Structure 1
Amino acid sequence: MIDRFPGLAPTRSRAVVHDDLVFTVAVAPDPVTPSMYEQTRKALARIDESLALCGSHKSRILSAIVYINGMPLKSEMNRAWDEWVDMGNPPMRACIGVELEPPHIVEIVVTAAK
């Protein structure tokens, strides 16, 4: 069984649950600040909301992929991540430099257990 939670656009789901797995992706909500640290904090807060909506929590994240626009800003993203992550259950994480659609400079994809 697949459960889909509606996103902001009719062609995108906010989160999807399949059996005991949760899949979600987030960017910072509008208005978007140009700060990598602030955008990351806000995107992670949306991850928290989506996980809760699906009956999960950041302590149950299995893996995360963080896409950032500009690898020199990775330390700012890492600072926000380190403040947010459940240190008792850190997920596997990859960080990839890409060109994102402005004004967003970070996008986070998460797979978690329910």
Structure 2
Amino acid sequence: MRAAAMALALAGSLAGCAKPVPVEKAEYVGTWQGPQMTLTIHAGGRVLYARRRGDTSTSVDAPLKRFENEDFIVGVGPLETRFDVARPPHRAGGAWRMTVDGVELTRTAR
């Protein structure tokens, strides 16, 4: 119970570190899915990411720190993860698409 309370307190303090998605980047908000990858960007600045590559899986649950051009950086303190956005959100074939870290994603929820 004590460990759970400490984890909850830590999660609450980290949530306060998130920067909301800027208005000019509002198209990024939503849940995006592609082959072996899911990315969720909340308007309040929380980023959830999961990706499988063969037998390896990677996941990130961290606050948004900033955008640099089309890329976005998430993390806490000096620990950062950069998401390389080759094609920012755009309409294609009646759906919203974006290419992140070499994977074409389709927005499935807003």
TM-score normalised by the chain length of structure 2: 0.28
> Is the strand fraction higher in 1 or 2?
2
Which structure shows the bigger proportion of residues in helix conformation? 1
Select the structure with the greater relative contact order (CA < 8 A; seq sep ≥ 6): 1
